[in-house]
Amino acid sequence: MKEAQPRTIFLKDYKKPPFLIDETVLHFDLSEQGATVKSRLSIRRNPDADTAPQDLYLDGVDLELAAIAIDGVELSGSGYELIAEGLRVIDVADNFLLECETRIKPHENTCLEGLYKSSSMFCTQCEAEGFRRITYYLDRPDVMSRFTTTIVADKNLYPILLSNGNQVERGDLDADRHFVTWEDPFRKPCYLFALVAGDLLNIDDEYTTMSGRKVALRMFVEPQNKDKCSHALNSLKASMKWDEEVYGREYDLDIFMIVAVDDFNMGAMENKGLNIFNSSCVLAKPDTATDATYQRIEAIVAHEYFHNWSGNRVTCRDWFQLSLKEGFTVFRDAEFSADMNSRTVKRIEDVNLLRTAQFAEDAGPMSHPVRPASFIEISNFYTLTIYEKGAEVVGMIYRLLGAELFRKGSDLYFERHDGQAVTTDDFVQAMQDASGKDLTQFKRWYDLAGTPVIAVDYEYDQDGQTFTLKLSQSCPSTAGDVVEKPFHIPFSFALLDNNGCNIPLIQDDDAVFANAPTELVLDFVKTEQIFTFQHIEKRPIPSLLRGFSAPVRIKNTYSRDELLFLMSNETDGFNRWDAGQKLAVEIIREVAESYAQGAELTVDQRLIEAYRGLLVSESIDKALLSKMLLLPTESYLIELSETANVDAIHHARNFVRDTVAKALKSELLKCYQDNLEAETAYSADFRSIAKRSLKNIALGLLLSIGDAEALTLAETQFATAENMTDESASLIALVNSDFIAPREAALETFYAKWKADPQVVEQWLSIQCGSVKSGSLEAVKRLMSHEAFDIKNPNKVRSVIGAFCNQNIVSFHNANGQGYAFLADNVIKLNKLNPQIASRLVTPLTRWKKFDEQRQALMQAQLKRILDEENLSKDVYEVVSKSIK
Ligand code: B3K
Ligand code: ZN
């Protein structure tokens, strides 16, 4: 018999906590046999509670209760009851001290939630509901408490013992053991609790805050990684400074610690004063980390640091409000990265992710609003919608208010809610109160599942010299019907003359021409709305939704010639790139259609000439050019299709790529040579990154057409590269080429050179598994028995299974269905070991609606097979059951 279906939790059922915990005193005794956790909780009834139950219910999972006492008196069996996932303490007073002793087994913890072991160290992950795997507690974010933590462990095995806040005491104990006590002066929910114990060394730095306080910055790593810390520490200092300058936010403790661990479900965690990072998101040196990794580290270090205010000082009332901290913090880290690097490139990367993956999520079975109304397992809601779309929603408020009023709004929000657990409504209210701008209609964004579609129509009247813009909005909801109410959409707009210059925008006849703006953020609030602009002397080209000012789909209104014009003349960098993407999408689709019909394939010469124009341009920014030379990905082309013909998309995209590369061979060779710098010390500044990127794009294109000269260039680059960006780019180019022997030789050499470095091995695995040339299903299966693979390590799972199913699209979607069965087998295996990873991994199968009927049936059959498993975790159950027709 299968167990009862897991329970759904609803936002509408939210009740204030009946009890509060003022003080939490924890004592951990760590050993090779397990851990003993003693807790002393000062509990009182919540005077504002909605209910006043007799009993106290505490959360607890996989705990062995060894002792329990109230106010120093041990409880007999009739005083409490062990219940499913918790503990009921019967008939409690208004104020009392609860003491519990629990035993846990970190060594056997493979779900990587709560307290677990990663190689030889102990570490924790408590968000969202991991603390209940450590001790019985009110494991909800609106219960905030002051924590004091003592850790006892063997002095030789675990010389470093860390927790949140400031270290207040340490000392030796008998039998080679020692202890350290930490005190966190800030009240916090237990999801921000952290503990680390290990044989680590620390790299130290210091930061002086804007008020002149010195903060110790300390990064803890395993000894072999001591030369991989400087980039993270520099990023941290830059983040601290940026948050002071842009948001007026200062750090609040005397020490800020970062720890790198190899086994981690996500990228990193913002525990108060003690951030824990996945090694792959924090460790870097030029010869082992690529430019992309350098940039990822900068962004994630900033993201976790920024949480200290947006998340920790002001936290979430409940998990439905997750985007309150995540959407806002992603917006903050994106602005930070934009300020540190190329703003246009950062926007292109973010929108690419949003349109490829978040739009797909929004159109799929797990579609949910930025503030979900219900969930079964909260871990499933750390999604692109909560993070990326949540950031877009905050970004729209920013665009509607402007920088100055937005800052007033954030100041008010932090001041009003410091030390509180609040809601997304509280955030919007602060923005509204500080700016005076009515955001009532805007709030609909928080409840929307699905992506609005904007249709654009325009007319130019030569005689009246007016330009009329007509915008219409609609929103297909996930249920297939149409959401009636219009959204408040900031629609950024400009008009270009035929030299590509911005034309003054005069909406009101009395406006003074000289002071007229050349770009406007239009308040688009109705289902249909007309905007008229006066004194337009010649027919202009409209520049629509500049910088992607709202997360919407926009119906393409441009002719190919207009797109070509915008590709070389648009003054908004994002829209310039987007014009190129739109043109390439149209042309690839045209080729795919011919391919599907068995017709002859040809590429519109205008696309080739446009790329030639970009390559020979003296004026174009290299960072933008490096993005413009990349064709839309297969995933994006699939997302745009009603029913995706995977093989046709793959072949058409390759055909367009190769046709362009053949036609522009000499320009590409010149681009390679021009950007081949005489080797100076590696720098991760965005200009150097752009140059390396251009060089490596050119190399990849030349190798894809089997150019012999390019093979020599790639082999030379591979042998002599002094940084991982160039080394791995030449490996990728070789792997994706038809030069079989050089590819195999390079893969072998690379592994032999780097096998001791887990971060590089992860790259080696994902390069192979993500490529159609080297990542056949058999090859991927073989890699799973390679010494480098470990199914218990999430990074390895992502590098092998994740890369195969998400990047190696034609192989995964092979019509024989074996790719689907392979994924299902591994989801079933991981369901037992690590449900969070299993439920993330299953995503590609849930997108069956996009494919032909035969594939749909095969994918659904695998989903059903998973659902039929005994003991399915809540995580996998929720995603799979919602995905089945
Ligand atoms: N807040 C964490 C994510 C925790 C994930 C829990 N399953 C990292 C971040 O967004 O900063
Ligand atoms: Zn976050």
Name the band, by pLDDT with cuts 50, 70 and 90, for residue 302. Answer: very high
Which residues form the pocket of ligand 1, taking CB atoms under 6 Å from any ligand atom?
127-128, 266, 268-270, 303-304, 307, 326, 379, 382
Q: Provide the 3-class DSSP secondary structure of residue 451.
A: coil
Contact, 809 vs 635, CB < 8 A?
Answer: yes
Mean of per-residue pLDDT scores for the chain: 97
Tokens of 372: 């979900």
405 and 505 inside one domain: no
In this model, does residue 156 exceed pLDDT 70?
A: yes
Domain end position, chosen among 199, 217, 252: 199
335 and 464 inside one domain: no
Of the candidates 624, 607, 788, the one whose C-alpha atom is nearest the C-alpha of residue 694 is 624
Catalytic sites, residue numbers: 304
Mean pLDDT of 737-753: 98
Name the band, by pLDDT with cuts 50, 70 and 90, for residue 483. Answer: low
In this model, does residue 479 exceed pLDDT 90?
A: no
Cα of 242 from ligand 2 centre, angstroms = 17
Q: What integer pLDDT is reported at residue 515 of this predicted model? A: 84
69 and 30 inside one domain: yes
385 and 403 inside one domain: yes
Buried b (16+ CB within 10 A) or exposed e, 669-695: bebbeebbeeeeebebebebbbbbbbb
Tens of pLDDT, residues 581-640: 999 999 999 999 999 999 999 999 999 999 999 999 999 999 999 999 999 999 999 999
Residue 495 lies in a domain: yes
Tens of pLDDT, residues 106-151: 999 999 999 999 999 999 999 999 999 999 999 999 999 999 999 9
CA dist 765 and 788 (Å) reads 8
CB-based burial label for 244 (10 Å; 0-12, 13-18, 19+): middle
Residue 42 lies in a domain: yes
Cα of 243 from ligand 2 centre, angstroms = 15
Residue 289 lies in a domain: no
In this model, does residue 1 exceed pLDDT 50?
A: no
Q: What integer pLDDT is reported at residue 532 of this predicted model? A: 97
392 and 492 inside one domain: no
Q: What integer pLDDT is reported at residue 194 of this predicted model? A: 99
381 and 457 inside one domain: no
Strands of 107-252, DSSP E: 114-118, 121-125, 145-154, 160-163, 166-173, 177-188, 195-198, 201-208, 214-221
Kindly give the number of the ligand 1 atom that is closest to the alpha carbon of 307. 11
530 and 392 inside one domain: no
As a whole-number percent, the residues of the chain with pLDDT over 70 amount to 98
14 and 158 inside one domain: yes
HSE of 536 in the Cβ direction (CA atoms, 13 Å)? 29
**Ligand of minimum distance to the alpha carbon of 128:** 1
Q: What integer pLDDT is reported at residue 481 of this predicted model? A: 55
Residue 731 lies in a domain: no
Contact, 567 vs 583, CB < 8 A?
Answer: yes
Partners of residue 57 on adjacent β-strands: 88
CATH number where 421 lies: 1.10.390.10
CATH number where 27 lies: 2.60.40.1730
Ligand 1: residue whose CA is nearest its atom 6: 127
Q: What integer pLDDT is reported at residue 484 of this predicted model? A: 73
Report helix, strand and coil shares of the chain as percent, to nearest 5. 45, 20, 35
Buried b (16+ CB within 10 A) or exposed e, 566-589: bbbbbbbbbbbbbbbbbbbbbbbb
380 and 502 inside one domain: no
Domain end position, chosen among 415, 447, 479: 447
In this model, does residue 3 exceed pLDDT 60?
A: no
Kindly give the number of the ligand 1 atom that is closest to the alpha carbon of 378. 7
Tens of pLDDT, residues 766-787: 999 999 999 999 999 999 999 9
Contact, 152 vs 178, CB < 8 A?
Answer: yes
Q: What integer pLDDT is reported at residue 623 of this predicted model? A: 98
Residue 21 lies in a domain: yes
Of the candidates 379, 345, 294, 368, the one whose C-alpha atom is nearest the C-alpha of residue 112 is 379
432 and 482 inside one domain: no
362 and 435 inside one domain: yes
Q: What integer pLDDT is reported at residue 626 of this predicted model? A: 98
Q: What integer pLDDT is reported at residue 663 of this predicted model? A: 98
Tens of pLDDT, residues 779-831: 999 999 999 999 999 999 999 999 999 999 999 999 999 999 999 999 999 99
Cα of 373 from ligand 2 centre, angstroms = 20
Cα of 411 from ligand 2 centre, angstroms = 20
**Ligand of minimum distance to the alpha carbon of 270:** 1
Residue 230 lies in a domain: no
Contact, 287 vs 723, CB < 8 A?
Answer: yes
Mean pLDDT of 480-487: 74
Domain end position, chosen among 447, 477, 509: 447
Contact, 492 vs 546, CB < 8 A?
Answer: yes
**Ligand of minimum distance to the alpha carbon of 328:** 2
Ligand 1: residue whose CA is nearest its atom 10: 326
HSE of 840 in the Cβ direction (CA atoms, 13 Å)? 19
Name the band, by pLDDT with cuts 50, 70 and 90, for residue 478. Answer: low
Residue 516 lies in a domain: yes
408 and 373 inside one domain: yes
Kindly give the number of the ligand 1 atom that is closest to the alpha carbon of 379. 7
CATH number where 534 lies: 2.60.40.1840
pTM confidence score: 0.98
* Number of independent structural domains in the chain: 3
Residue 69 lies in a domain: yes
Domain with 153 in it: 1-199
